[in-house]
Amino acid sequence: MTEVAIEGTGFLIDGEPTYKGRVHQGRKIEGLLHNSRMVQAIFDDANPETVAHWRYPDTGVWDPDRNTDEFCAALPEYRKFGLLAVTVGLQGGGSMYLPKVYDAYVNSAFEGDGTRKPAYFDRLARVLDAADDAGMVVIANIFYWKMVEKMSGEAAVKRATAETTDWLLRTGHRNVMVDVYNEFNDGDRIVDAPRIHELIEIVKGTTLGGRRLLTSSSWCPPAAIRPGPWEAMVDFYLPHGNDSWGRRLRWKTREIRKSAAYQADPRPIVYNEDSMYVNNLDAAVDEYASWGFYIQGYGCGGWDHGHYEWTQHNRESTFEALTGYQTVPVNWGVNTGLKKAFFYRLADITGAPGSEGQEKAL
């Protein structure tokens, strides 16, 4: 059984530091938790008006079980390249940003009142099993802002938090950490910076046999950090980069370490969403921060968020050519130049063997 733990500012897996003993170009790698944003691993859409947008190009139909099964099958390959964690969303993330789709599709593991949808949790159980077998960690992200808007108020959000935490503990898996809410911002809702600690408290206060889950919540860029009681409570920091090039990523990481809460209790810093750019991976490593690969994929429409150009091309016409890990449908393979650039660089930094027949690391 794979078990994740924290010791100081680094991570342990099965009682040993991650990337044990590894130093790359004078930089300490041991204790980091490099990861990838794979939030659509249990995706589905309850709206019959929009579900056709997710059809596979090779079959002409959408199949949530195929999506999850192919993701699970890819985990051992990711692990060979040195990837140790994946962020999986119970409400996913933006798949298509055209308002007529983005405002209408319904990808959520919860009913409006916060009760669990069994099919989602069945798929999540398969992901936890596969990650456990691969020796990997799952960062379970509970809420995504667009889907929280479809829930019926704070009571539903609290219920979903409590039921999800209890379910995760009862699976018996020890390879799970929690990202309560994707990109909290300033405001006065329970999912905003001044109050997100209320949900963090629910997760941390839910135990089974004296055990609880490692817990945090990611915050919205471009701020280096967003003030609030949450900072003293999280087990690890979860900044998002997105808009940052390497220089700014270094600055953000240093600003976190200057905060009074960090100074009082130094903890790991994990970017679990940044970009597809390997120079940002190197910038994070320079600052001893774990880094999260994020590659949206073409065909998402809407706007060019961050420093990406995802709207400049239509969705690919074949399954083999699908570029991203967030625009649905997803090809979970290491199948494109952009994906290979990340995984090859990750293998180089971590000393992982990579896949058979791997080209020279970039």
Q: What are the Cα distances from residue 64, in Å, to 95, 165, 194? A: 14, 23, 36
HEC string of the chain? CCEEEEECCEEEECCEECCCCCEECCEECCCCCCEEECCCCCCCCCCCCCHHHHCCCCCCCCCHHHHHHHHHHHHHHHHHCCCCEEEEECCCCCCCCCHHHHCCCCCCCECCCCCECHHHHHHHHHHHHHHHHHCCEEEEEEECHHHHCCCCCHHHHHHHHHHHHHHHHHCCCECEEEEEECCECCCCCCCCCCCHHHHHHHHHHCCECCECCEEECEECCCCCCCCCHHHHCCCCEEECCCCCCHHHHHHHHHHHHHCHHHHHCCCCEECCCCECCHHHHHHHHHCCCECEECCCCCCCCCCCCCCCCHHHCCCCCCHHHCCCCCCCCCCCCCCCHHHHHHHHHHHHHHCCCCCCCCCCCC
* Span of 96-105, 199-208, 239-248 with lowest mean pLDDT: 239-248
Confidence class for position 361, pLDDT limits 50, 70, 90: very low
Cβ neighbours around 201 below 10 Å, total? 15
- Is 146 within a domain? yes
Confidence class for position 362, pLDDT limits 50, 70, 90: very low
How many domains does one find in the chain? 1
- Is 357 within a domain? no
Mean pLDDT of 305-323: 85
Structural domain containing residue 264: 4-350
Q: Is the pLDDT of residue 49 over 50?
A: yes
Reading the block at residue 113, the tokens are 């009142």
Mean pLDDT of 45-66: 98
Q: Is the pLDDT of residue 282 over 50?
A: yes
- Is 48 within a domain? yes
Mean pLDDT of 230-241: 97
CA distance 293 to 301: 21
Mean pLDDT of 73-94: 98
* Span of 19-28, 144-153, 191-200, 237-246 with lowest mean pLDDT: 237-246
Reading the block at residue 336, the tokens are 């494109």
- Is 227 within a domain? yes
Q: Is the pLDDT of residue 17 over 90?
A: yes
- Is 358 within a domain? no
- The pLDDT score that the predictor gives to residue 220 is 92
CB 38 within 8 A of CB 74: no
Confidence class for position 307, pLDDT limits 50, 70, 90: low
Confidence class for position 303, pLDDT limits 50, 70, 90: confident
Interhelix angle 278-286/337-350, rounded to 10 degrees, is 20
- The pLDDT score that the predictor gives to residue 219 is 97
Torsions phi, psi for 226 (to 5 deg): -115, 120
Q: Is the pLDDT of residue 253 over 60?
A: yes
Confidence class for position 358, pLDDT limits 50, 70, 90: low
CA distance 362 to 349: 11
The fraction of the chain above a pLDDT of 90, given in percent, is 92
Which single residue is written with the structure tokens 């390997």? 278
CA distance 153 to 189: 10
- The pLDDT score that the predictor gives to residue 311 is 83
C-alpha distance across the termini of the chain, in Å: 33
CATH of the domain at 322: 3.20.20.80
- The pLDDT score that the predictor gives to residue 309 is 79
Cβ neighbours around 233 below 10 Å, total? 17
- Is 359 within a domain? no
- The pLDDT score that the predictor gives to residue 278 is 95
- The pLDDT score that the predictor gives to residue 355 is 73
Mean pLDDT of 91-113: 97
- The pLDDT score that the predictor gives to residue 306 is 61
By DSSP bridging, strand 23-24 and strand 27-28 are antiparallel
- Is 362 within a domain? no
- Is 361 within a domain? no
Reading the block at residue 258, the tokens are 């200057």
Confidence class for position 312, pLDDT limits 50, 70, 90: confident
- The pLDDT score that the predictor gives to residue 207 is 98
Question: Where does residue 205 rank: exposed (0-12), middle (13-18), buried (19+ CB within 10 A)?
Answer: exposed
The fraction of the chain above a pLDDT of 70, given in percent, is 97
Q: What are the Cα distances from residue 220, in Å, to 94, 144, 161, 305? A: 14, 12, 20, 13
